[in-house]
Amino acid sequence: MRSDENYWRDKNWYYHNDIDRLINFLIPDGSKKKEFSDTSLTQLATPTSELFEYIVLNNVISSLGDIQETLVALRKNIEDSGRLVLVFHNYLWEPVFNILEFLGLKHKPIRQNWLSVPDIENFLLLSGYEVVKSGRRMLFPAYIPIFSGIVNSLIAELPFISRLCVTQFVVARPMVKSIRDYGVTVVVPARNEKGNIESLVKRTPIFPAGTEIIFVEGHSKDDTWEEILRVAGKYGEERKIVVTKQDGVGKGDAVRKGFEMAKGGLLMILDADMTVAPEDLSKFYDAIKNGRGDFINGSRMIYPMEKQAMRFLNTIANKFFASAFSWILSQRIKDTLCGTKVLLKRDYDKIVANRSFFGNFDPFGDFDLIFGAAKLNMKIIDLPIRYRDRTYGTTQISRFRHGWLLLKMTVFAMKKFKFN
């Protein structure tokens, strides 16, 4: 049987082209990467001190004599904020591949460890990595005009059916032991929130490396702007308070302006309605500081809520969108619309640099960040908080108008992440 790499790649071009598309999708443009395939196993044994943002093992893991030893050795070549991407075959396809190899329709690899995703996740854990996300693609690895496109672009992505796909992938990040303190910027979008401003400032934690509070006022109809100025003057000596007015409209616009002005290395969003207690920001800080995740997302859907905190239809919609986005993004997300989200400024800058992938269509600001974090393979962690009723003002969410916008963004995300 022939073993020439180009021969088999040409023979099975449709399958290999899909693998290439997957890897290109998983790795942001401009990233420094190193890819190993099943025909370049000898390169893995060649020591190097070079660091990479991404290392890809493309159908390599199944041919390794000692998987754990290889993963441990690769760790020294991955940046602390880097990622390891593993692409491998679904073990359910073993009988099919054995037949294809016997018939001379597929090359026979050196050795075959038929591994499930849990097997891979266990090897990664033992080797000092943490899984960020995993997924499957390609249900029919041969080209038949129209048929292959429909099956692999649409049907293969459906729940349960996707378990039969031939290609599996796992993205993992190194477990980083270093612990450090960050200067913090808390961005507070504020529209018609006059009665909450002073209490929010008094209750916001002061973090070890400094705390900056940026109020972004959003064309209020009450005296929110005047109250922000008064509170900034009153507490300016003991706290760093920055005030500005947003140029556009919507919370997303306010968040982006606040983040652009931020001086802290750690960025936080805190809604001015204080339905999430300012004191809870300490939990978000600890999660980032201790390396629990790259993107800490508040979740209101765990603890019981106060009676008027969230209306019934809003609760149902939140659960629907959370389930939809968990499937779309291949990461578990319990609550997509909690206003409190925390990430490092360096990671936010990467999201901004890759924003052209989605555009600036998100009026809420939540999905712009969640989509960006998922596209950059950031580890998204849900942090449960208690959702409280307002003590001042009324909700500014229109359940039907905003619900329609959320539905359109869900369809948009499906096209970008699933049916690409």
CA distances from 232 to 67, 191, 209, 215, 380 (A): 57, 16, 20, 9, 33
Helical spans, DSSP H, in 128-223: 147-153, 197-203
From start to end of 246-314, where are the E strands? 266-269, 295-299
Which domains are seen in the chain, by residue range? 5-174 (3.40.50.150), 184-418 (3.90.550.10)
Which residue in 253, 173, 165 sits closest to 216, CA to CA? 253
Total residue count of the chain as it appears in this document: 420
**Tens digit of pLDDT for each residue in 96-153?**
888 887 787 777 766 667 788 889 999 999 999 999 999 999 999 999 999 999 999 8
**CA-CA distances (angstroms) from residue 213 to 11, 183, 277, 358?**
60, 11, 15, 29
Which one is predicted more confidently, 391 or 327? 327
Instruction: Report the C-alpha gap between 248 and 257 in whole angstroms.
Output: 9
Mean pLDDT across 251-261: 94
* Confidence check: pLDDT of 374 > 60: yes
Average pLDDT over residues 368-397: 85
Report the chain's C-alpha Rg in angstroms.
24
pLDDT over 50 (residue 23): yes
pLDDT the model gives residue 389: 82
Which residues fall within 8 angstroms of residue 70, CB to CB, at 6 or more apart? Answer: 44, 64
Q: Which range has highest mean pLDDT (253-257, 334-338, 403-407)? A: 253-257
- Residue 25 pLDDT more than 90? yes
Q: Is the pLDDT of residue 417 over 80?
A: yes
Q: Judge whether residue 188 has pLDDT over 90.
A: yes
Give the range among 61-70, 176-185, 236-245, 299-308 with minimum mean pLDDT.
299-308
Task: Give the pLDDT band of residue 390 (cuts 50, 70, 90).
Answer: confident
Confidence of residue 14 (pLDDT cuts 50, 70, 90): very high
Nearest CA among 265, 261, 213, 209 for reference residue 234:
213
Asked if pLDDT for residue 230 goes beyond 50, the answer is yes
Per-residue pLDDT at 376: 94
The tokens for 2 are: 């022939």
CA angle 161, 166, 167 (to 5 degrees): 105
Of residues 250 and 86, which shows the higher confidence score? 86
| C-alpha to C-alpha distances, 194 to 204, 220, 244, 247, 391, nearest whole angstrom | 17, 9, 15, 19, 11
Please report the pLDDT score of residue 111 as a whole number: 61
Q: What's the pLDDT score for residue 99?
A: 86
| Mean predicted lDDT score pLDDT of the chain | 87
Q: What percent of the chain has pLDDT over 70?
A: 89
pLDDT of residue 97: 82
The residue among 364 and 125 whose pLDDT is bigger is 125
**pLDDT for position 161:** 93
Percent of the chain with pLDDT over 90: 56
**Residue 164 token pair:** 């039969």
Give the 3-state secondary structure of 63-121.
Answer: HCCCHHHHHHHHHCCEEEEEEEEEEEECHHHHHHHHHHHHCCCCCCCCCCCCCCHHHHH
pLDDT surpassing 60 at residue 6: yes
Query: Mean of the pLDDT values across residues 41-49?
Result: 69
Q: How confident is the model at residue 1 (pLDDT cuts 50, 70, 90)?
A: very low
Ramachandran category for residue 103: left, alpha or beta (phi over 0 → left; psi -120 to 50 → alpha): alpha
Mean pLDDT lowest for which of 130-144, 220-234, 306-320, 404-418? 306-320
Residue 2 has pLDDT above 60, yes or no: no
